[in-house]
Structures are given as C-alpha cells and as structure tokens.
Amino acid sequence: MFYRFNAHRAKKQPVQESSTDKIAKKIAGSITAVQQGWATFMDRHARKLPPKQLKALLLVLVLVSGAYCAYLLGEGMFSQATHRFADFEFAKLWPFDPLGNKEKLRREAAWDHYLDSLEQQVKRDSLQNPQYYIP
C-alpha cells in the first residue's frame, strides 16, 4: 500500500573527485609524510643527546625565534609604506571644503550648543538629582 523506501537498499552513487581534489590530496599527503618523517628523524637523534645539550638547543631556538619576531615587529612598525592599496581622488569624493561652508558650521555649532543645554538641564533638574534641591 505505501511505498517502502529503505535508504540502505538504495544504490550508492560513486563519488566523483575532480582532478584538483586529487592533486590537493597528493600534496597534503606528501606534506604530512614529510612532517612525520622529520618528526621521527628528530626523535631518533634527540634521544641520543644529553639533557644539557637539549636545553642549550632549546635556548638557541628560543633566542633565534625571539630575534626573528623582534625583527618582524621592527620592520612592521618602522618601515615606510612602499605601496598603496587604493588610489582615490579625494577631490572627487569630497567636492566641498567643510571648513569653507560657514553656514553649515554655524548650524552644527548651534545644534551642539542646544544638545549641551539639554544635558545641563537634566543635570540641574531637582526631580532627577535631589542633591541639587534647595528647600
């Protein structure tokens, strides 16, 4: 009476991998293999070293990496920009000088003064702040 669908009985379609996926898997596998090989090599050779020499190698590694980090920070903070990400003509984007528009500046100053007076009025209100209330 009803259609009996069973997902487990359905034929599974083989997954088609593109050539770029195959190449990416090969590259990732080779990188992983190199990392594992390097780790086993270092493990074999580091076991033979005495603890003093291991500590000295750790100290050298920390000093070298710290010096490189300091170099990168110095280069980033004190270097001059060699290129720009965007060249804009600001004259086209900002067609008027805001300091030259006296009327707009006067209206903005009046608006700011009005907002400041409202803020002061709230501060002086005896219902809002009972400490200013004088009987």
- Quick check: pTM over 0.85? no
Please give the Cα distance from 33 to 87 (Å, whole number): 45
Tens-place pLDDT, residues 51-108: 899 899 999 999 999 999 999 998 888 776 655 656 655 555 455 555 667 787 788 8
Cβ contact 105:99 at 8 Å: yes
Q: What is the DSSP letter of 60?
A: H
Average pLDDT over residues 15-26: 85
Q: In the chain, where are the structural domains located?
A: 19-78, 95-130
Average pLDDT over residues 45-51: 87
* Token pair 């009327």: residue: 103
